[in-house]
Structure 1
Amino acid sequence: MYREIEVKDFLPVLLEHLKFSESILDIGSGTGILLERYEASLVIGLDIHRPYLVHRHYTSPHIIPVHADAAHIDKLFLPGTFSAVTLIDSLEHFSMSDGMQLLRKAEIIASNRVVVFTPRGFFPQEGTDHFHLNGEHYQRHWSGWEPEDFQRLGYSVTVLKGYHHAENPAFVQAFGENHEPLDALIACKTV
């Protein structure tokens, strides 16, 4: 499935994909701004940069921070451990080949679905930690993803037309204030 929509907030679209998920592994959770919006009874927020987890935004006891490298999720979790695995604004922080490998691992760990939110195409970002927690190294973007990249892997794709624009400081830093808006992607695969 492929569709294009115009929305200002991707969260309702994301939550629709996560409906009926009892447990969620969120890879690259950062400070976890979205995690309390997930309706699962168990959420694991995994991040490689410990300060993000120490300064997390969530307080709910059903959300558990885990400090680990996402590249090793196959050693941390057994197949089918979580109803869903999410990568929200995190896949672009891996090279294309590492990202493909991470998706394969996520598909094994998920018992129901894998959901990705990422910019469409390459969105340059280097050396800026918008959380101000010294994670500049981890915030660099190494890859850009197109709908076809996900469709070849069996994902359905929703293109969020013009989602990234000049109201986003990272967008302005990368492209300037007068650049035309760029799309974002939500890709979902039922496993």
Structure 2
Amino acid sequence: MKKVLMLLSNGFEAVEASVFTDVLGWNKLEGDGTTDLVTVGLHERLKCTWNFIVQPELTLDQVNLDDYDALAIPGGFEEAGFYEDAYDQRFLDVIKHFHNKNKIIATICVGSLPLGKSGILNGRKATTYNHPTSKRQGQLKDFGAIVVNEPIVVTDNIITSYNPSTAFEVAFTLLEMLTSKDNCIHVKELMGFH
């Protein structure tokens, strides 16, 4: 069984988290059955960007990081407090742990910014939120990343993307990396992606 830790910050976007739960859940029940996802946060209750309240399965202090094969991080909004958790040293230490063990890290939209802050994107190609009115790609560049304005950028075991519209494709990319291309195509077809 491949276990994925989905690390949630206060202020995360629910839609960006839900693609990981759905794609990996569909795989667990209808695909090859080899994926399991666990939701983890720094707090017992989290408030999403649009005030949806969530209770992660575990808090970070209850987790043994070595039990997990991949890390998934949805993005969120600064106005909802996303960076307070996402830039917390404990959050950054999780990212460094997965990176140091050469495990897969998948992010959506600004979920790549804590990766940048942790230092693991220094000199690596990556992307983040790309709207012309946003400063997020500049912030990622300031963290030392080589910013590529493409929907999804995969560098080694790190998946980054540039806005919420890429969310499903990030989750499918993660599924393919954890299982196989054929299995991923099978799950996509079952979910109505042709």
Quick check: TM above 0.5? no
Superposition TM-score tier, normalisation by shorter sequence: 0.3 to 0.5
Q: More strand per residue: 1 or 2? A: 1
Q: More helix per residue: 1 or 2? A: 2
Question: Structure 2 length as normaliser, TM-score?
Answer: 0.41
Question: Structure 1 length as normaliser, TM-score?
Answer: 0.42
